[in-house]
Structure 1
Amino acid sequence: MAGSGVQTVSRALAVLGCFRGGDELGVTDVARAQGLALSTTHRLLTALVDAGFLEKTAEASRYRLGGALAQYGQIAYRQHRIYLTEPHLERLAATTGASASVAMRYGNEVVLLGTSRWREAEGHALQGVLLPLHASALGKALLAFSHTGQDELERLPYGDGTDRAVRNADELAKELALTRERGYGFNDEELAAGHRTIGLPIFPADGGADVRFALGIRGATELMSPERIPFLVDLGRSTARDISVALAQ
Structure 2
Amino acid sequence: MAGSGVQTVSRALAVLGCFRGGNELGVTDVARAQGLALSTTHRLLTALVDAGFLEKTAESRYRLGGALAQYGQIAYRQHRIYLTEPHLERLAATTGASASVAMRYGNEVVLLGTSRWREAEGHALQGVLLPLHASALGKALLAFSQVGQDELERLPYLDGTDRAVRTADELAKELTLTRERGYGFNDEELTAGHRTIGLPIFPPDGGTDVRFALGIRGTTELMSAERIPFLVDLGRSTARDISVALAQ
Q: TM-score range by the shorter chain?
A: over 0.9
Corresponding residue SS for 1:186? strand
> Could you report, residue by residue, the CA deviation over 1:131-179 in whole angstroms, capped at 9, with x for unpaired residues?
1100100000000000000000000011111111111000000000000
Query: Is this contact kept in 1: 2:83–2:246, CA < 8 A?
Result: yes
TM score, norm. by length of structure 1: 0.96
> Could you report, residue by residue, the CA deviation over 1:180-230 in whole angstroms, capped at 9, with x for unpaired residues?
000000001111111111000000112222101000001111111111111
Mark the CA change 1:123 to 1:47 in structure 2 (over 3 Å): closer, same or farther: farther
> Could you report, residue by residue, the CA deviation over 1:71-104 in whole angstroms, capped at 9, with x for unpaired residues?
0000000000000000000000000011100000
Mark the CA change 1:191 to 1:76 in structure 2 (over 3 Å): closer, same or farther: same
Query: Is this contact kept in 1: 2:27–2:38, CA < 8 A?
Result: yes
Q: CA RMSD in A?
A: 1.6
- Alignment size in residue pairs: 248
Query: Is this contact kept in 1: 2:203–2:209, CA < 8 A?
Result: yes
**Partner Cα distance (1:173, 1:213) in 2:** 20
**Partner Cα distance (1:36, 1:230) in 2:** 50
TM score, norm. by length of structure 2: 0.97
Mark the CA change 1:124 to 1:217 in structure 2 (over 3 Å): closer, same or farther: farther
Q: How far 1:124 sits from its partner (Å)?
A: 9.5
Query: Is this contact kept in 2: 1:117–1:125, CA < 8 A?
Result: no
**Partner Cα distance (1:92, 1:244) in 2:** 15
User: 2:198 matched to which residue of 1?
Assistant: 199
Query: Is this contact kept in 2: 1:112–1:126, CA < 8 A?
Result: no
Query: Is this contact kept in 1: 2:187–2:194, CA < 8 A?
Result: yes
Please identify, of 217-226 and 113-122, the stretch whose mean Cα deviation from structure 2 is larger: 113-122
Mark the CA change 1:10 to 1:121 in structure 2 (over 3 Å): closer, same or farther: farther
Q: Unaligned stretches of 5+ in structure 2?
A: none
Query: Is this contact kept in 2: 1:112–1:127, CA < 8 A?
Result: no
**Partner Cα distance (1:123, 1:102) in 2:** 20
Query: Is this contact kept in 2: 1:116–1:125, CA < 8 A?
Result: no
Q: Which runs of 4+ in 1 moved over 4 A?
A: 123-128
Q: Unaligned stretches of 5+ in structure 1?
A: none
Q: How far 1:121 sits from its partner (Å)?
A: 7.2
**Partner Cα distance (1:105, 1:207) in 2:** 21
Identity percentage of aligned residues: 96
**Partner Cα distance (1:127, 1:224) in 2:** 16
Mark the CA change 1:141 to 1:182 in structure 2 (over 3 Å): closer, same or farther: same
